[in-house]
Amino acid sequence: MRDKDLEESFELISMLADGGIHSGTELAVALGVSRAAVWKRIGKLGALGVDVIKVRSLGYKLPRPIEFLDVAILQKHLSTLMPDLAVSVEVAKQVDSTNLALLRRTRSTDDLVVTCLLAEQQTSGRGRRGKAWYSPLGENVYLSILWQTELSVAKLNGLSLALGVVIATMLSDVFGINAQLKWPNDVLVKDKKVAGILVEVDGVIEGPLRVVVGLGLNVSTERETTEPNGHDWTSVQAHSERSASRTHVALNVMSSLLTALSEFERNGFRTFRQRWMALDAYAGMPVQVTFHEHSVAGMALGVDEDGALMIDVDGVVQTISSGEVSLRVRA
């Protein structure tokens, strides 16, 4: 969608965002355009995946309210929570992928600050193992953090697990949700996936490593899986009695991840390991692990001090540290 159309569409959505009925005349006056132009703009919202309900002789409404992220609140509260850390917070209306956007930035400038980039919608959200990440407008948190570290690539192995630990812990502490982890970093609630993490490293050879940490957390999206052996999806709102405004969720996610990044820089995965084990959804269960086109079956034993998965296969402990691994409970 062209920038001008995107701006106009978001202007219209923010007027409908409260979920109430708004007449064509009211919208036309507020936008300073004709009613025909309002009708035309409403037609374009379908391209953003936003349905508008026409209420006969009364006007238009959204099927449910949409809360846009409030960048001023995010920046202000983050500076209060983390006064010693200089962080830039940005919210994009629409982006292909927040991870890709920050990776592009690492290549176009040398002058990097820690940056949190959130988006209202991703058109090509990226998941692990080359999968797409479903990213509808205004429903969830799509966040990437650009971070520089002196750690080596090898030391980063446990990073995504450590980040899974703090997201699961935050869901419990802030939203009263009993979340668990599936190796390496799927965050599950009652066996349905609520969040995923994708850590990508820019391929620079010299100097500090530039790492992009991507987190997708479902705030209101719930759906059944479309993949064989995939997880169904759930959301924060489905499991929490407490207010789950997207801005509030995003703020807690950002501060948890930023705190974890500095702890990881100091200690590596070591101080996260016990917490990961305590949250392990598959501990002691018979599992099947598929990687590099072959499969092993054994008993899940948690993770080692580097975050590698340990399984007992006929009395021999095997560790799996990387590769395209899919893990599931044996029937």
| Residue 218 sits in the site that holds ligand BTN (CB under 6 A) | no
Among residues 197, 219, 236, 301, which is the contact residue for ligand BTN, using CB under 6 A?
197
Which of these segments, 94-102, 176-184, 228-236, 307-315, binds ligand BTN (CB under 6 A)? 94-102
Q: Which residue has the tokens 């502490």?
A: 173
Catalytic residue (one of 182, 193, 246, 273): 193
Catalytic residue (one of 128, 155, 190, 270): 128
93 is catalytic: no
Nearer Cβ to ligand BTN, position 102 or 308? Answer: 102
Q: How far is the CB of 246 from ligand BTN (least distance, A)?
A: 13
| Residue 183 sits in the site that holds ligand BTN (CB under 6 A) | no
Greatest C-alpha distance within the chain? 75
* Residue 274 backbone dihedrals phi, psi, to 5 degrees: -60, -40
- Alpha helix segments (H runs only) across the chain: 3-16, 24-31, 35-44, 71-81, 98-108, 159-175, 236-239, 246-267, 273-278
Residues 123-142, interacting with ligand BTN (CB under 6 A): 125-128, 131, 133, 142
Residue 71 Rama label (left phi>0; alpha psi -120 to 50; beta) = alpha
Residue 29 Rama label (left phi>0; alpha psi -120 to 50; beta) = alpha
Tokens at 248, concatenated: 């509030």
Per the CB < 8 A criterion, the answer to whether 19 and 65 are in contact is yes
Q: How far is the CB of 266 from ligand BTN (least distance, A)?
A: 25
328 is catalytic: yes
Nearer Cβ to ligand BTN, position 215 or 236? Answer: 215
Q: Which residue has the tokens 């930035």?
A: 105
Which of these segments, 36-44, 193-201, 223-231, 267-275, binds ligand BTN (CB under 6 A)? 193-201
Which of these segments, 48-56, 95-103, 283-291, 317-325, binds ligand BTN (CB under 6 A)? 95-103
210 is catalytic: no
- Kindly report the number of other CB atoms within 10 A of residue 158's CB atom: 25
| Residue 97 sits in the site that holds ligand BTN (CB under 6 A) | yes
